[in-house]
C-alpha cells in the first residue's frame, strides 16, 4: 500500500465504524469543555464525567467558579489527580476570562494557550470541539495508533500531530481525531490488544509492531 492508500483506508474504515461521533467529555458550552479537558490530563474521561457534574453543580461559569476557593475546587476534583495544579489552573483561568474576555472563552490558540494549566492539546480540543476550528489534538490513543499504522515515527506527540496534519485532509481533522480515539479504545488498546479485531493495524501496521505482537502471543 502507498501512504495515500493507507490514509484513505483509515478514513474510510473509521467513517464506516463511526458515522456518528460522540464527544468523550460531557459539557454544555466552551467553558465547561475547557474545564473538563483540563481535568482529563492523566485521568480517564469516565472519571472526569463523574466529577464534573459535582463541580458544575456549584460553578459552571467563571463568575461562580471564582466565588469558590482553590481549596474548595481541589477537594471536588481530587479524584481526577493533579488536583493542586488543576484547581489553581481552573481558578486562575476563570479570573482571566472575566478580566480579559468578559467571561467568554477566547477563540484563538494563542489566547487559550496563555491561560493557566492550558497547553496546546487542551487548546486544540476546545478550538475543535467548541468552535469547529480545524485542529488535531493528539492524545495517547492517537499517538499509539499513528505509530502502529506506520504514519509517524512515534518520537513525540508534537511530531505525531505534524504528521497527522500533513497526511490527512484538513476538513477531516475534527471528526478524525475523535474517531481514532474511539477506535483505539475499542479495537487497538495498549493492553489486551487483539490484532484480529484491529482491522486497520492488521492491514497497514508497521512490520515491527506486527512481529512484536506475534511474538507476544507465542
Please give the grid coordinates belonging to residue 4.
495515500
Same domain flag for 180 and 100: no
What pLDDT score was predicted for residue 29? 98
Active site residue: 60, 139, 163, 198, which one? 139
Q: Is 88 a catalytic residue?
A: no
Same domain flag for 143 and 124: no
Q: Which domain holds residue 81?
A: 30-129
Q: Is 175 a catalytic residue?
A: no
Same domain flag for 34 and 95: yes
| Interatomic CA distance for residues 32 and 40, integer angstroms | 12
- The CATH code of the domain that includes 211 is 1.10.1670.10
The last residue of a domain, from among 96, 129, 162: 129
Same domain flag for 46 and 72: yes
Can you list the pairs that 17-24 forms with residues at least 24 positions away whose Cβ atoms lie under 8 Å? Answer: 17/179, 17/182, 17/183, 18/178, 18/179, 18/182, 18/183, 21/175, 21/178, 21/179, 21/182, 22/178, 22/182, 23/129, 23/178, 24/178, 24/181, 24/182
Same domain flag for 67 and 119: yes
Q: Tell me whether residue 93 is in a domain.
A: yes
Same domain flag for 45 and 10: no
Same domain flag for 55 and 13: no
- Number of domain units in the chain: 2
Same domain flag for 37 and 16: no
Q: Tell me whether residue 78 is in a domain.
A: yes
Q: Tell me whether residue 94 is in a domain.
A: yes
The last residue of a domain, from among 102, 129, 156: 129
Same domain flag for 120 and 210: no
The last residue of a domain, from among 129, 159, 174: 129
Q: How does pLDDT run along the chain (218 residues), one tens digit per residue?
A: 899 999 999 999 999 999 999 999 999 999 999 999 999 999 999 999 999 999 999 999 999 999 999 999 999 999 999 999 999 999 999 999 999 999 999 999 999 999 999 999 999 999 999 999 999 999 888 999 999 999 999 789 999 999 999 999 999 999 999 999 999 999 999 999 999 999 999 999 999 999 988 877 75
Q: Tell me whether residue 25 is in a domain.
A: no
- The CATH code of the domain that includes 98 is 1.10.340.30
Same domain flag for 207 and 164: yes
Same domain flag for 95 and 10: no
Active site residue: 6, 74, 86, 121, which one? 121
Residue 103 CA neighbour count, 13 Å, CB half: 8
Please give the grid coordinates belonging to residue 86.
488543576
What pLDDT score was predicted for residue 218? 59
Same domain flag for 8 and 36: no
Q: Tell me whether residue 142 is in a domain.
A: yes
pTM recorded for the entire structure: 0.92
Amino acid at each position: 500500500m502507498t501512504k495515500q492508500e493507507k490514509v484513505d483506508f483509515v478514513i474510510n474504515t473509521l467513517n464506516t465504524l463511526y458515522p456518528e461521533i460522540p464527544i468523550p467529555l460531557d459539557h454544555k458550552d466552551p467553558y465547561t469543555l475547557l474545564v473538563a479537558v483540563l481535568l482529563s490530563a492523566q485521568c480517564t474521561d469516565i472519571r472526569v464525567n463523574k466529577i464534573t457534574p459535582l463541580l458544575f453543580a456549584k460553578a459552571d461559569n467563571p463568575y461562580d467558579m471564582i466565588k469558590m476557593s482553590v481549596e474548595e475546587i481541589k477537594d471536588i476534583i481530587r479524584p481526577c489527580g493533579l488536583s493542586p495544579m488543576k484547581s489553581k489552573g481552573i481558578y486562575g483561568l476563570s479570573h482571566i476570562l472575566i478580566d480579559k474576555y468578559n467571561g467568554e472563552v477566547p477563540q484563538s490558540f494563542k489566547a487559550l494557550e496563555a491561560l493557566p494549566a492550558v497547553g496546546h492539546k487542551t487548546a486544540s480540543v476546545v478550538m475543535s470541539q467548541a468552535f469547529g476550528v480545524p485542529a488535531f489534538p493528539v492524545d495517547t490513543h492517537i499517538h499509539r495508533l499513528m505509530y502502529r499504522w506506520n504514519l509517524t515515527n512515534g518520537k513525540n506527540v508534537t511530531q505525531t500531530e505534524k504528521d497527522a496534519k500533513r497526511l490527512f485532509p484538513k476538513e477531516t481533522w475534527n471528526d478524525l481525531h475523535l474517531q481514532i480515539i474511539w477506535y483505539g479504545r475499542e479495537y487497538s488498546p495498549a493492553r489486551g490488544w487483539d490484532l484480529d479485531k484491529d482491522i486497520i493495524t492488521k492491514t497497514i501496521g508497521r512490520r515491527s509492531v506486527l512481529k512484536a505482537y506475534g511474538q507476544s502471543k507465542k
